[in-house]
Amino acid sequence: MEALRSRKGFICDMDGVIYHGDRLLPGVSRFVDWLYREDKQFLFLTNSSARSPKELQQKLLRMGLEVDESHFYTSALATADFLKKQNPGGCSAFVIGEPGLLNALHDAGVTFNNVDPEYVVVGEGGTYSYDTLCQAVRLVLRGAKLIGCNTDVTGPTEHGLIPACRALIAPIEAATGRQAYFVGKPNPLMMRTGLRLLGVHSEEAVMIGDRMDTDIVASIESGLDTVLVLSGVTSLGQIETYPYRPRLVLEGVGDIPAPESP
C-alpha cells in the first residue's frame, strides 16, 4: 500500500468507484480529503458521456463532496477531441446522447446533421429510441462512420445495472455489418490525455477502477499502476476469468489513505 500512496498522480473512474447513481460510496470523502491533503494530482476520468465536467462537479456537490471542475474528464470530451483532430476543418454528425456529449461536440466545432452526416456518434441516455436507432442504421448504410463513446455494456446505479453504450450501439452494428470505433476506455487515447492533464509520467500514476475490461486493461496497456475496487461491477471471483490482473484489489477507495492514529 505504501507504493500506492507514494504515487504522484491518481486517475479514478467514477461509476462504481466514487458513486452508484446518486449515492456516494463509503470512504470516498475520506479518500478525496487525503488526495487534497497530500497534494496529489488527481483526475476523475469517466466513460460516461452523459454529463459535462460542470454537471459532474455539481452532482458530487449535491452528495456533499466539493471537487473543482478541472478534475473531471469524460468520454464525451475524448470523443470530441478525437473528431476535432481527425477533421481539423470540421465535420458533421448524427448524435444519440445526452447534453454532455452534444455540448462537447458543439464546442469542438462538430455540426449536427440528420441527413448526410460524416459520422454517427452514439453515447448513452434517454434520447435512444427505436426511431433514432432506425435513423442511425440508415445513415451508416449511406456511408456515415460509426463512433461509440465507450465500450461499457452496462453501468451501475443504485437500482442495479442498466444498459450502457456498447449495448446500445450493438443493434446498429448488427443491422449494418459495420464495426464502431470506440474512443473511451480501454482505448489508450483517454489514458494518455489523462496523464497529460495531470502532468505526470505513467510510472508515477495509478488507475483506480471497478472494471477489468476497461479500467484495468487500459491502465496496464498505458503503463500505469493498477487498482481494482470491488465497489462496482466486478466481483472477486470474476477476476480469475481474465488473463491479466490488477496489482492491488481493494474493497473501495476508502482503503487507500493510511489508517488514522487512535
Q: What positions carry a catalytic annotation?
A: 13, 15
Residues 150, 3: Cα–Cα separation, whole Å: 30
Residues 46, 147: Cα–Cα separation, whole Å: 17
* Grid coordinates given for 250: 481493494
Residue type, 98: E
- CA angle, corner 54, sides to 148 and 109, nearest 5? 50
The DSSP bridge pattern shows strands 205-209 and 72-74 to be: unpaired
Residue type, 260: E
What is the DSSP-derived secondary structure letter of residue 12? E
Residues 139, 67: Cα–Cα separation, whole Å: 40
Residue listed under C-alpha cell 469524460: 74
SS3 assignment, position 198: helix
> How many residues in the chain?
262
